Amino acid sequence: MTEKLFGTDGVRGRANTYPMTADVALKLGAAAGRYFRKDGLNRHRVVIGKDTRLSGYMLEYALTAGLTSTGMNVLLLGPVPTPAVGYLTRSMRADLGIMISASHNPHHDNGIKFFGPDGFKLSDEAQDEIETLLAGEIQPAQPENIGRAKRIDDGRGRYVEYAKTTFPGHGRLNGLKVVVDCANGAAYRAAPDVLWELGAEVIPVGVAPNGFNINQQCGSTHTQTAAEAVVQHGADVGIALDGDADRVMILDENGKVADGDQIMGLLAARWAQEGRLQGKTLVATVMSNLGLERFLAGKGIDLHRTPVGDRYVVEAMRKGGFNLGGEQSGHIVMTDFATTGDGLIAGLQFLAAMVETGRKASALTHSFEVVPQLLQNVRYKAGASPLESAAVKAAIAKGEAQLAANGRLLIRKSGTEPLIRVMGECEDESLLKSVLSEIVAEVEGAA
């Protein structure tokens, strides 16, 4: 196993295909257990959550076998949102948290994400050390020090109770009809429970997981289902989560979608006005729209950009002492409340804005005018390096010169799939399309 396992968000791949096999999961669990059990004492614990993919069972038990073989005690949470694992890792004084999920990907993919004892995702340095252990011979625990495994039945309930406390002033959602699309994923019970207990009339969508339908024609990556439910039921607002509930899209009463940029723009402006926005700075990635940057500048708010990946957003937030950040894709990170993106709690913050202002969702979901943005993905073969091609480099340089001060280009490898993501922004949409088509053609030729 010389190939690097960890990407921008843990280890991810197609289930029962390297690296998402039971064998690798067992060894990865053993390596993580050895890393966190450096002192050799048998009092360390790890919490494991998962989403609703069929392959979650296989990976959960394989990880448990590896962890207990090195003396870690395992607490199994069952299906819970990714942010619940971050919260419960810290709340239960665990040394390690693990979430088994491929987030917004289809059911045939899966992934393994690691959280440290502070509830934040593991640093690159810690992941590198685990990979180094994985490459060597992992020393098992003595028979008397083998770990135990225990199922925790109230993990979801603990998270539900905590999520409710983040709604401002212990307020209520009485009178609001809310569609919540749980993507047949990890929040299929937690999210409707939170909203109902806060007083909303809840229309649940995507709450019948069968192991294969996670993110299938539903959730934050397919908002049409939630939009149709909003219009059909005359709802005031819709909340669309992804498979592990760390992303969110908001839909207004007309079914129109607001992405992460619009949500962050609203929250940043409100928090800055209330004196709650630390450092008067929002942290977002290079993918966030130019319109957001211009909107924030008009409010006297700085935009700090990071590489793509919510873990890089969180690292920049922690380093700079900032408390709000996220991604256009819907990861909204609020370190006052959570250690990672939390779609449900972000949704609650939007609902709080509706309650406190008395305004409709449509009046809050359009903070700024979006600069035309296009994104095209080009799949490449194993071993290919399209971005090293001289023709691709020349096309990118030409495109940058054409857009000049009126826009920008961002061409990068995906951290989770064999894709080259070609993104551009420009006020002149026809010019943007022309520039991107030339670059995509060259990338496809080198892929």
Phi/psi of residue 283, nearest 5 degrees: -100, 125
What's the confidence (pLDDT) of residue 124? 86
Residue type present at position 395: A
* Domain spanning 169-256, CATH class: alpha beta
**Residue 47 is inside which H or E element, if any?**
strand 45-50
Q: Which residue from 380, 256, 246, 255 is spatially nearest to 326, judged by alpha carbons?
A: 246
Phi/psi of residue 204, nearest 5 degrees: -80, 140
Q: Is residue 425 helix, strand or coil?
A: strand
Rounded CA separation 184/215 (Å): 6
Phi/psi of residue 190, nearest 5 degrees: -65, -45
Q: Does residue 103 carry a catalytic annotation?
A: yes
Q: Are 207 and 241 in contact (CB under 8 A)?
A: no
Q: Are 422 and 446 in contact (CB under 8 A)?
A: no
What's the confidence (pLDDT) of residue 421? 94
Determine whether domain 373-446 maps to CATH 3.40.50.1170.
no
Q: Given the residues 55, 103, 288, 367, select the one marked as catalytic.
A: 103
CB neighbourhood size of 405 (10 A): 5
Q: What is the DSSP letter of 385?
A: -
Asked if the domains at 260-363 and 373-446 fall in one CATH topology, the answer is no
CB neighbourhood size of 390 (10 A): 9
What's the confidence (pLDDT) of residue 39? 62
What's the confidence (pLDDT) of residue 114? 95
Cis peptide leading into residue 386 (ω within 30°): no
> Can you say whether the dihedral through the CA atoms of 15, 18, 22, 25 is positive or negative?
negative
Contacts of 268 (CB under 8 A, 6+ apart): 277, 282, 296, 299, 301, 324
Residue 350's Cα: distance from chain center in Å?
A: 18
Q: Are 75 and 94 in contact (CB under 8 A)?
A: yes
Q: What is the pLDDT along the chain (447 residues), one digit of tens a residue?
A: 456 888 878 899 999 999 999 999 999 999 999 998 876 566 799 999 999 999 999 999 999 999 999 999 999 999 999 999 999 999 999 999 999 999 999 999 999 999 999 999 998 889 999 999 999 999 999 999 999 999 999 999 999 999 999 999 878 999 999 999 999 999 999 999 999 999 999 999 999 999 999 999 999 999 999 999 999 999 999 999 999 999 999 999 999 999 999 999 999 999 999 999 999 999 999 999 999 999 999 999 999 999 988 889 999 999 999 999 999 999 999 999 999 999 999 999 999 999 999 999 999 999 999 999 999 999 999 888 899 999 999 999 999 999 987 889 999 998 778 899 999 999 999 999 999 999 999 999 998
- Measured CA distances, 410 to 193, 289, 442 (Å): 40, 12, 15
What's the confidence (pLDDT) of residue 1? 44
What architecture is the 260-363 domain classified under in CATH?
Answer: 3-Layer(aba) Sandwich (3.40)
Determine whether domain 11-154 maps to CATH 1.10.760.10.
no
DSSP string, 52-79: S-THHHHHHHHHHHHHHHTT-EEEEEEE
Q: Which residue from 305, 338, 312 is spatially nearest to 323, judged by alpha carbons?
A: 338
Q: Are 341 and 334 in contact (CB under 8 A)?
A: no
Q: Which residue from 222, 186, 199 is spatially nearest to 88, judged by alpha carbons?
A: 186
Q: How many CA atoms lie within 13 A of 288 on its CB side?
A: 31
Q: Which residue from 343, 298, 307, 305 is spatially nearest to 325, judged by alpha carbons?
A: 305
Kindly calculate the radius of gyration of the chain based on its CA atoms and give it in whole angstroms: 22
* Ranges of each domain in the chain: 11-154, 169-256, 260-363, 373-446
What's the confidence (pLDDT) of residue 311? 86
Rounded CA separation 45/76 (Å): 11
**Residue 231 is inside which H or E element, if any?**
helix 224-233
Q: Is residue 365 helix, strand or coil?
A: coil
Q: What is the DSSP letter of 144?
A: G
